[in-house]
Amino acid sequence: MNVNLKIWRQGSDSDKGTLKAYRLENIDPNISFLEMLDILNIKLVKEKKDPVAFDHDCREGICGSCGFMINGRPHGPQKATTVCQLHMRAFNNEDDILLEPFRAESFPVIKDLSVDRKSFDRIISSGGYVSTNTGEAPEANSISIEKEYADEAFLSSACIGCGACVAACKNSSAMLFTSAKVSHLSLLPQGQKEGKDRVAKMVATMDEEGFGSCTNTGACSAECPKEIGQINIARLNQEYISSSLSGFLKKKDG
């Protein structure tokens, strides 16, 4: 198959970017999208041109490193699929394919399709630690956890922090990401002790990083490759209100 690519090229966040056109012919439709970009970069290097920069690591949809806009959608046209797991058979012969970086003030462009998502790391770090015994592994049934909560915690922990939710949101909100990280600990007994401080600190850091507000349009969960649900956002709001009230009552009693 043949494809016509338009790729955003930008030297750094301070540079002015532009779209550049590339054409690839006789591409195997069964290769992955990133393998197609590898072929393009080999071609560019042979032509002594600058290869296209893009983020990737495991290429198995696990690490969350990859991610950019494909025809205006984070990770491309397929639901619940990271860009590294997207294959060229999802497109047609002679398709025009537009590639752009995730657009968000909190995700500054490093180069081309690669963006800096360290703001996510800072949100997670601000949540602190879980005070639990890390010695010998306890018996599996020594901590009683209802299956409903265990299942919900597992689904929330599936978030890989790729940033698709921020890129999809019209406000560049990080509420889905932050709520997933808060939820999977708030649902488990191991995360209860620091729960109120954790949610307050993570929300404060999220705001400091410049992410926008959530208006519950649902684009975040619709484009999430791990299908993280919006129920996490409701749970985060509940946890945050509880934390705020707890802090208010402590001040009042003091």
| Residue 58, pLDDT score | 96
Least confident among 109-123, 129-143, 144-158, 222-236: 129-143
Residue ranges covered by each domain of the chain: 3-110, 117-131+140-253
229: left (phi over 0), alpha (psi -120 to 50) or beta: beta
Q: Would the pLDDT of 213 be above 90?
A: yes
What is the CATH number assigned to the segment(s) 3-110?
3.10.20.30
3 to 56, 90, 94, 97: CA distances (angstroms):
21, 12, 5, 7
pLDDT digits (tens, 9 = 90+) for 11-47: 999 999 999 999 999 999 999 999 999 999 999 999 9
pTM, 2 dp: 0.91
Count CB neighbours of 10 within 10 A.
Answer: 19
Q: Would the pLDDT of 232 be above 90?
A: yes
| Residue 249, pLDDT score | 52
The confidence band for 143, taking pLDDT boundaries of 50, 70 and 90, is confident
What is the CATH number assigned to the segment(s) 117-131+140-253?
1.10.1060.10
User: What mean pLDDT is predicted for residues 103-116?
Assistant: 97
For the chain, the average pLDDT equals: 93
